[in-house]
Amino acid sequence: MPHRIRISAQDIVNIDDDKERRQAAALLASELGVFEYEPQQDRAFWDDRVHELWGMPRDQTFTYAEIMATTHPDDRALVEQKYLDVLDPNGHRHFDHEYRILPRDGSPMRWIHAKADCKFIGNTPVRLVGTMQDVTKRRTAEARAIVLVDELEHRVKNTLASVISLAALSSRGHSDLDTFIDGFKDRLHSLAHAHDWLRVNDWQPLEMKRLLEEQVGNLFGGHTTPITTEGPDTLLEAHHVPTFSMALHELLTNALKYGALSDKGGEISFTTSTSDTQIEIEWREKLNSPLATPVTRKGFGRFLLTQILPSELSGKADLEYAVDGLRFTLTYPHKRT
Amino acid sequence: MTRKPKIMVVEDQMLIAYELVELLEAHNFEVVGPFNSVAEAKAGIKATPPDAALLDINLGGQETSEPLADLLMQMKLPFAFLSGYRSAGRLAQRFDAVNLVRKPAREDKLISLASSLTAQ
């Protein structure tokens, strides 16, 4: 025979107590505030959390007009429309909306999510009861995500546009497809590395000599090179980094093929200097044995160094092919602020 | 002999700018610029008033070509925006009947745009 359990009236009261306590604790944990509104009396009753959200004094009731005055002006019309709908016996009888409020105590704007059901007697709305939650954090994160996606899309499109331009400008004068493709791939790799450093550095300005070191590392791995750097640290704005990196890549590959890094042997010095108004950069190659005639070259590298890079930095550049090695100088003004 | 139509190019990425310049010059346009900032473009407009302009919206950092668009409107000079931003439409909306071309743009599209702008 099964064991009989006796439940006293007191036990039932305790269970009810537990239920209420549980609900209250859950409400507290959920960060939900509870509100009630009586349309016929135009009175709103709020719990402490809702009062806090709206920055309104506690232990008071509020009217519809007072609530609307605290609602963000841009969101009022829609809130009003949804509110009229929930009070309409032929409407949805349910309110579920996120909107902005400007707390009366001067706290910063908040996003709230309000959900409520309306009770009717016949066709008369008598009681609107529901919850409110502060969803500012989520809305801010969502807004930021939208900005980031837009920014990412812009960068992708701009990078693709750069690659198209690079292909168009660097293919000129090339008759041998294989050589062009090899050079083009190297240029794209250097561009890709520039983007890596920008990302690692969170799109903040980058130090020029470090860019050179990175490009050298990219081309030569851990091998030592006869390249020395001098002068003060010089920061480059993030949006100039891709072009500057490509310019360094052109200088390095040129030196590797024809200059101080080729089998001719020699040294390279990279010097930065700054004055109050401008920044100067010098790339100087010194060949071990001077050439009979200086090597002059035309092509994308030259165009990038003497035209594209100085224009981008609003400066001037000079590329000089001397018998003892190439010399490239770039002078540009400090960023205007 | 008819004069070559003058078109101004404003773009902060000079790699893209110079390809555009070459393209336009190859199609018999005279290019004013390329300029990579509002200040330089304003000086350029003063020195050589163009017939029309192609404006990249974002000019690096916080600068946009919006003040140039205002100036060109005042001067009643036609222009089009170039941009990779999806949200660029919001700026373009400020200016009635202004063209907005998404980057990267096709060459034939750019040339027909330049032709229609300078013909206005």
Give yes or no for a contact between A212 and A234, defined as CB atoms under 8 angstroms apart. Answer: no
Interface of B with A in 50-69 (CB under 8 A): 58, 60-61
What's the residue count for chain B? Answer: 120
Question: B58 and A168: CB-CB below 8 Å?
Answer: no
- Tokens 């002999």, residue located: B1
Residue numbers in B near A160 (CB within 8 A): 103-104
Give yes or no for a contact between A311 and B12, defined as CB atoms under 8 angstroms apart. Answer: no
- Mutate which: B15, B54, B91, vs A, most A CBs within 10 A: B15
Question: A336 and B12: CB-CB below 8 Å?
Answer: no
Interface of A with B in 275-314 (CB under 8 A): 303-304, 307-309, 311-312, 314
**Nearest CA-CA distance, residue B38 and chain A, Å:** 12
Dist CA A264 CA A256 (whole Å): 10
The pairing of strands B6-10 and B30-35 is parallel
Secondary structure of B6-53 in HEC code, one letter for each residue: EEEEECCCHHHHHHHHHHHHHCCCEEEEEECCHHHHHHHHHHCCCCEE
Question: A314 and B40: CB-CB below 8 Å?
Answer: yes
Dist CA B57 CA B63 (whole Å): 9
Closest CA to A291 of A312, A264, A314, A271: A264
Burial classification of residue A108, based on how many CB atoms lie within 10 Å of its CB (0-12 exposed, 13-18 middle, 19 or more buried): exposed
Residue A110 makes CB contacts below 8 A (sequence gap 6+) with A53, A100, A101, A103, A134, A136
What is the mean pLDDT for each group of 10 consecutive residues in chain A (337 residues)? 63 71 83 92 92 88 92 95 93 93 94 95 94 95 90 84 90 85 91 88 89 86 84 90 93 91 90 93 92 76 93 93 92 77
According to DSSP, residue A304 is labeled: I
**Nearest by CB to B61, which of A154, A157, A239?**
A239
Give yes or no for a contact between A139 and A109, defined as CB atoms under 8 angstroms apart. Answer: no
Burial B45-72 (b: 16+ CB within 10 A, else e): beeeebbbbbbbbbbbeebbbbebbebb
Write down the ipTM of this complex. Answer: 0.82
Q: What is the pLDDT of residue A16?
A: 67
Question: What integer is the mean pLDDT of B18-25?
Answer: 93
Residue B86 in contact with partner chain A when CB distance is under 8 A: yes
Residue A96 in contact with partner chain B when CB distance is under 8 A: no
B51-103 pLDDT, tens digit each: 999 999 888 777 888 899 999 989 989 999 888 676 666 676 677 656 888 88
Q: What is the pLDDT of residue A25?
A: 83
The residues that bridge with A241 in the sheet, in sequence order, are: none
Q: Crossing angle, helix A241-257 and helix A177-200, to 10 degrees?
A: 140
Residue numbers in A near B86 (CB within 8 A): 150, 153-154
Locate A239 and state its tokens. 């949006």
Dist CA A68 CA A27 (whole Å): 25
Residue numbers in B near A240 (CB within 8 A): 60
Burial classification of residue A167, based on how many CB atoms lie within 10 Å of its CB (0-12 exposed, 13-18 middle, 19 or more buried): middle
Task: Count Cα atoms within 13 angstroms, Cβ side, for B77.
Answer: 20
Dist CA A151 CA A173 (whole Å): 35
pTM: 0.73
CB pairs under 8 A between A and B: 81
Give yes or no for a contact between A82 and A97, defined as CB atoms under 8 angstroms apart. Answer: yes
